[in-house]
Amino acid sequence: SAVISQKPSRDICQRGTSLTIQCQVDSQVTMMFWYRQQPGQSLTLIATANQGSEATYESGFVIDKFPISRPNLTFSTLTVSNMSPEDSSIYLCSVEVRDRTDTQYFGPGTRLTVL
Amino acid sequence: GESVGLHLPTLSVQEGDNSIINCAYSNSASDYFIWYKQESGKGPQFIIDIRSNMDKRQGQRVTVLLNKTVKHLSLQIAATQPGDSAVYFCAENSGGYQKVTFGTGTKLQVIP
């Protein structure tokens, strides 16, 4: 498995501003993922972030709104730009660990409220 | 704080009983399935997985059953405990890499 931390754990922001969320993992991983979880909902994949290449975005998500950085194999950031109340969600990063389970492990999430 | 289980279907189970949580998946090409547990205020936690070449897999107090014919997945929890109270998500791998698609989730409430 992997130990994943996120900063901030929660924030309250004004509409029109931007917030950058950090994700740190305790081991080198190839693939990192960013998800959004709206209140009472399941998780929706925003994008996949590989080190050394542009992030791959899912349908409905664009780079201008959710720019992602992946400067090395243990760190990634997701920025939520020009926020509106509809962006209020939990944002989670996850990593793929090639162990026996070959699956994804998740960080604790960042709870964002936009006023 | 907000609850991830606010609008999710709820299963209430007496402590000590067995729980069965069901999930219908959508992609017949999916070949890997995972169950996650999400407690309030935390990220999803891996519970158990199963590949499409199997129809049953057991872990500690948990069993996952896969029926590919009807695209159905279930999670059985034996002797349910208060600590099992959480939202449970099934997920399927439907991409060339580990792109995981999550189901809608079920909130499990354990009655002491």
**Probe site for chain B from A43, A89, A106 (most B CB atoms < 10 A):** A43
| Residue contact A108–B46, C-beta within 8 A | no
Number of inter-chain CB pairs under 8 A, A vs B:
67
User: Which strands form B56-58's sheet, in the order they lie side by side?
Assistant: B19-24, B72-77, B62-67, B56-58
Beta bridge partners of B61: none
* Mean predicted confidence (pLDDT) in B68-90: 96
| Residue contact A92–B44, C-beta within 8 A | yes
Instruction: Look at A25-39, A71-85, B97-111 and tell me which has the smallest mean pLDDT.
Output: B97-111
Q: Considering only alpha carbons, which residue of chain B is nearest residue A1?
A: B46
pLDDT band at B28 (very low <50, low <70, confident <90, very high): confident
pLDDT, tens digit (0-9, with 9 covering 90-100), for A92-113:
999 987 766 667 889 999 999 9
If 0-12 CB within 10 Å is exposed, 13-18 middle and 19+ buried, where does residue B71 land? middle
**Cα A50 from Cα A30, distance rounded (Å):** 6
- Between A8 and B96, the higher pLDDT residue: A8
Residue A100 pLDDT:
60
**Count of CB atoms within 10 A of residue A11's CB?**
14
Residue B1 pLDDT:
36
Q: Which two three-digit tokens encode residue A58?
A: 């899912």
Residue B93 pLDDT:
83
Residue A86 pLDDT:
95
Strands A110-114 and A10-13: parallel
Q: Which two three-digit tokens encode residue A38?
A: 């709206």
* Mean predicted confidence (pLDDT) in B4-8: 56
A residues 71-110 lying closer than 8 A (beta carbon) to B: 90, 92, 94, 96, 101-109
If 0-12 CB within 10 Å is exposed, 13-18 middle and 19+ buried, where does residue B29 land? exposed
Q: How many residues does chain B have?
A: 112
Residue B38 pLDDT:
96
Q: Are A63 and A81 in contact, with CB atoms under 8 Å apart?
A: no
Q: pLDDT averaged over chain A? A: 93
**Count of CB atoms within 10 A of residue A46's CB?**
25
Residue B27 pLDDT:
85
Q: Residue B5 above 50 pLDDT? A: no
